[in-house]
């Protein structure tokens, strides 16, 4: 457990407002050490990674939340998966000619896809919206305010050392006694600088912003990098490619090689493994989680 990788929840005691701060350090480094992301791509990926962790923390679920930004610009894909156990993995694709610039220039005509895959029981959920806004934070605020009908504000930042973010959300309920509470909380949030967000421990940020408010700080939760790839999952994916495709690959290359995009783990199946792909039964737990 790394104390620099935390999810910190807090609530306002007198008004229905909740907050969360996510700080990623080792988790973020685990993503960065696997690919040499150009700085503008790195910033976007760090921001969306933090955003996914913040969003996952606002919903009660068991399973994984996947946030994808897909576009036709020089950064065509950003993907983050966050599980209900606070583990994260992330990857981005980019063209060599990517330059720092407005969000729309980097992503092009983009859309935001949010998928919640429950581990069991409830239905899979997927929301897809056009990407609108000048930042990942703004795009996600638009999405949340519209889809959840909850006023939400996000602050996101990432550099080569950390990725961090804060979320404020106004929950259903009366703020009659203190009608100014939400705009005040948001206004104080906007006084937080990017450097402070990246550098300060979460309790210090909460204190610095809201020491005059009645705040309850929950115990912080650890967050970590973990890739959910496995030989079983790769096997299942290859089975879906079909017998013919696999045999073509075997004939050309002698074995079937798959590298996990998220963690770089190398999987290789020789011709005997490949033969077993289509004769062995699908492991029960894999079959039940992939319809």
The residues of the shown chain that bind Zn ion, judged by CB under 5 A, are 227, 229, 260, 262-263, 265
Contact 224, 88 (CB under 8 A): yes
Nearer to Zn ion, 65 or 229 (CB): 229
* Backbone CA torsion sign across 172, 175, 180, 181: negative
Question: Smallest distance, Å, CB 155 to Zn ion?
Answer: 30
The distance of closest approach from Cβ of residue 67 to Zn ion in the complex, given in angstroms and rounded to an integer, is: 17
Nearest to residue 223, comparing CAs of 77, 49, 36?
49
Phi then psi for 5, rounded to 5 degrees? -110, 95
Length of the chain: 291
Least distance between Zn ion and beta carbon 231 (Å): 11
Q: Residue 43 or residue 64: which is nearer to Zn ion going by CB?
A: 64
Q: Compute how many other C-beta atoms are within 10 angstroms of the C-beta atom of residue 252.
A: 7
Q: What is the DSSP letter of 164?
A: E
Reported in sequence order, the residue ranges of the chain that DSSP labels E, i.e. its strands, are 6-12, 17-24, 63-70, 77-83, 87-93, 111-118, 125-130, 152-158, 163-170, 215-217, 221-222, 224-225, 256-259, 266-269
Q: Which is nearer to Zn ion, 188 or 258 (CB)?
A: 258
Q: Strand, coil or helix: what is 175?
A: coil
Taking the complex as a whole, the smallest distance from the CB of residue 225 to Zn ion amounts, in Å, to: 10
Q: CB of 240: closest distance to Zn ion in angstroms?
A: 18
Q: Write down the least CB distance from residue 259 to Zn ion, Å.
A: 9
> Which residue lies nearer to Zn ion by CB, 155 or 225?
225
Q: C-beta of 211: minimal distance to Zn ion in Å?
A: 42
Token output for 51? 């955003």
* Of 102, 113, 169, 167, nearest in space to 135 by CA: 102
Classified as helix, coil or strand, 66 is strand
Interatomic CA distance for residues 9 and 212, integer angstroms: 18
Backbone angles phi, psi at 186, to 5 degrees: -65, -45
In whole angstroms, the minimum distance from the beta carbon of 271 to Zn ion comes to: 24
Nearer to Zn ion, 58 or 265 (CB): 265
| Nearer to Zn ion among residue 271 and residue 289 (C-beta) | 289
Cβ-contact 153, 184 below 8 angstroms: no
């Amino acid at each position: 457990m790394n104390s620099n990788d935390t999810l910190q929840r807090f609530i306002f005691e007198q008004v229905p407002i909740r907050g969360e701060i996510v700080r990623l350090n080792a988790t973020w480094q685990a993503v960065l050490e696997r690919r040499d992301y150009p700085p503008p791509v790195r910033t976007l990926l760090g921001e969306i990674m933090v955003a996914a962790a913040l969003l996952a923390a606002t919903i009660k679920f068991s399973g994984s939340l996947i946030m994808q930004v897909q576009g036709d610009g020089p950064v065509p894909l950003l993907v983050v998966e966050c599980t209900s156990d606070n583990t994260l993995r992330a990857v981005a694709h980019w063209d060599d000619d990517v330059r720092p610039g407005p969000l729309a220039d980097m992503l092009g005509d983009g859309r935001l896809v949010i998928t919640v895959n429950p581990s069991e029981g409830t239905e899979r959920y997927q929301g897809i919206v056009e990407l609108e806004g000048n930042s990942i934070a703004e795009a996600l605020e638009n999405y949340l305010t519209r889809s959840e009908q909850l006023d939400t504000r996000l602050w996101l930042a990432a550099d080569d050392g950390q990725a961090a973010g804060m979320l404020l959300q106004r929950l259903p309920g009366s703020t009659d006694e203190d009608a100014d509470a939400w705009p005040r909380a948001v206004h104080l949030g906007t006084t937080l600088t990017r450097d402070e967000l990246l550098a300060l421990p979460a309790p210090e940020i909460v204190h610095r912003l809201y020491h005059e408010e009645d705040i309850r700080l929950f115990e912080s939760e650890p967050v970590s990098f973990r890739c959910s790839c496995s030989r079983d999952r790769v096997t299942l994916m290859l089975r879906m490619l079909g017998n013919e495709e696999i045999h073509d690959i075997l004939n050309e290359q002698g074995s079937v090689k798959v590298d996990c995009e998220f963690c770089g783990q190398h999987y290789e199946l020789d011709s005997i493994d490949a033969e077993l792909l289509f004769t062995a039964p699908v492991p029960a737990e894999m079959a039940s989680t992939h319809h």
